[in-house]
Amino acid sequence: MVQSLQDLGFSNSATELQRESGYQLESSAVSKFRYGVLHGEWEAVERLLPMMNIHPKDMRNARFLIKEQKFLELLEAEKIDVALQVLRNELTPVTHQPERLHGLSSYLMCPNPEDLKQAAGWDGARGDSRHKLLADLQSMRASS
């Protein structure tokens, strides 16, 4: 039930159910990480990532996916200068796929958020993109 409440976006109800039942579905760090991803708190997400038990082989890709989401959200918010800094200083160091970076850099030329969403095949910060990112990151977690 707790997991279903969290997945449906009822995090306060899930927290209360955990408190009342005494059953903890996930650690505090995992809860904060989940909240950070779903609410676009990228600094907190990056700070908590090392505690998420991601397979070592997947850590670089996890970092890239988080920074990619951050980059796209900055473009969507039309914060082009900050998005460009993220592309140069954060995305470039964590990928060995220059073609993917070229694709991301092409989104800088999109004249508005709707064109960005169409070009990127991305539904925006208010769509399902954060939920998809969270699912992708969870699939990288090592079994405990």
Tell me, yes or no, whether 13 lies in a domain. yes
Neighbour tally for 14: CB within 10 Å: 22
Residue pair 114/101 in contact (Cβ under 8 Å)? The answer is no
The residues pairing with 32 across neighbouring beta strands, listed in sequence order, are: none
Which residues are CB-contacts of 82 (< 8 A; sequence separation ≥ 6)? 74
Tell me what pLDDT residue 143 has: 55
The per-residue pLDDT for range 74-111, each reduced to its tens digit, is 999 999 999 999 999 999 999 888 999 999 999 999 99
> What is the domain count for the chain?
1
Tell me what pLDDT residue 19 has: 77
SS3 per-residue string spanning the chain? CHHHHHHCCCHHHHHHHHHHHCCCCCCHHHHHHHHHHHHCCHHHHHHHHHHCCECHHHHHHHHHHHHHHHHHHHHHCCCHHHHHHHHHHHHHHHCCCHHHHHHHHHHHHCCCHHHHHHHHCCCCCCCCHHHHHHHHHHHCECCC
Pick from 15-19, 80-84, 129-133: least confident = 15-19
Tell me, yes or no, whether 144 lies in a domain. no
Tell me, yes or no, whether 89 lies in a domain. yes
Tell me, yes or no, whether 63 lies in a domain. yes
What φ, ψ does residue 54 adopt, rounded to 5°?
Answer: -75, 140
Q: What is the mean pLDDT of residues 114-124?
A: 97
The pLDDT-based confidence of 144 (bands split at 50, 70, 90) is: very low
The per-residue pLDDT for range 26-77, each reduced to its tens digit, is 677 888 999 999 999 999 999 999 999 999 899 999 999 999 999 999 999 9
Tell me, yes or no, whether 126 lies in a domain. yes
Q: Which domain holds residue 111?
A: 2-139
Tell me what pLDDT residue 10 has: 78
Tell me, yes or no, whether 103 lies in a domain. yes
